[in-house]
Amino acid sequence: MEKTKPKKTIIALTGMMGCGKTTTATELAKYLPNFIRVEMDDKIENQEQMSINEIFEKKGEQYFRQIETKLLDELCKQQNLIISMGGGAFLSEENRNFLKQSTITFYLCASSNTIYNHIKDDNSRPLLKSENPKKRIKDILKLRENIYEKADYTIQTDNKNANEVAEEIMEIYTKYANRKPRCKRKN
């Protein structure tokens, strides 16, 4: 009999800033009461005792990405988590390799207009500090989209509320969690 891989008990949400990762993770936690919701950016801010903006300004993006990778490595060794990643976390191949081993990943895909409407009044986004944030969102999305699509599943979030997105994720995750082990017979 062939051994099956253990079931992944971590759900990781990736996608652009403003695509709905945080609100969707909050809704998912209602469906999965035994899971702990982890907001990576919040954990990093608590650990560093400064905002993401301040980390970028004082220590640089490279430093931020290093602590992000270290945190993700630690989280991927746990179980029963819903991880809401920062928009850039999934871009690192090292991070994607950690995730592949222990998580089921969902790319929350939103149009640049949806993203802009969600975050246009939020001044805490370091990568959006530009004269034309709408164009900056389009540019970043264009650069990242092919990488985000490496997630296990893509969920379109335009014109959906967080609960609708969470329900779609739960439908997929429930099928995944309830799958039966396969048995390979030798003739």
Q: What is the pLDDT of residues 66-85, one digit of tens each?
A: 999 999 999 999 999 999 99
What angle, 0 to 180 degrees and rounded to 10, lies between the N-to-C axes of helices 21-31 and 162-177?
A: 50
pLDDT digits (tens, 9 = 90+) for 134-171: 898 999 999 999 999 999 999 999 999 999 999 999 99
Please state the pTM of the whole predicted model. Answer: 0.88
Residue 185 lies in a domain: no
Residue 187 lies in a domain: no
pLDDT greater than 80 at residue 179: no
Residue 95 lies in a domain: yes
Which residue range forms the structural domain that includes residue 62?
10-177
Q: What is the pLDDT of residue 5?
A: 46
Share of the chain above pLDDT 70, in %: 89
Residue 5 lies in a domain: no
Residue 45 lies in a domain: yes
Q: Do the beta carbons of residue 64 and residue 44 sit within 8 Å?
A: yes
Q: What is the CATH number of the domain that holds 170?
A: 3.40.50.300
Interacting residues of 11 by C-beta distance below 8 A, sequence separation 6+: 28, 32, 35, 81, 82, 83, 103, 104, 106, 169, 173
Query: Dihedrals φ, ψ of 101, to 5°?
Result: -70, -35
Residue 16 lies in a domain: yes
In the chain, how many domains are there? 1
Terminal Cα distance for the chain, rounded: 12
Q: What is the pLDDT of residue 176?
A: 81
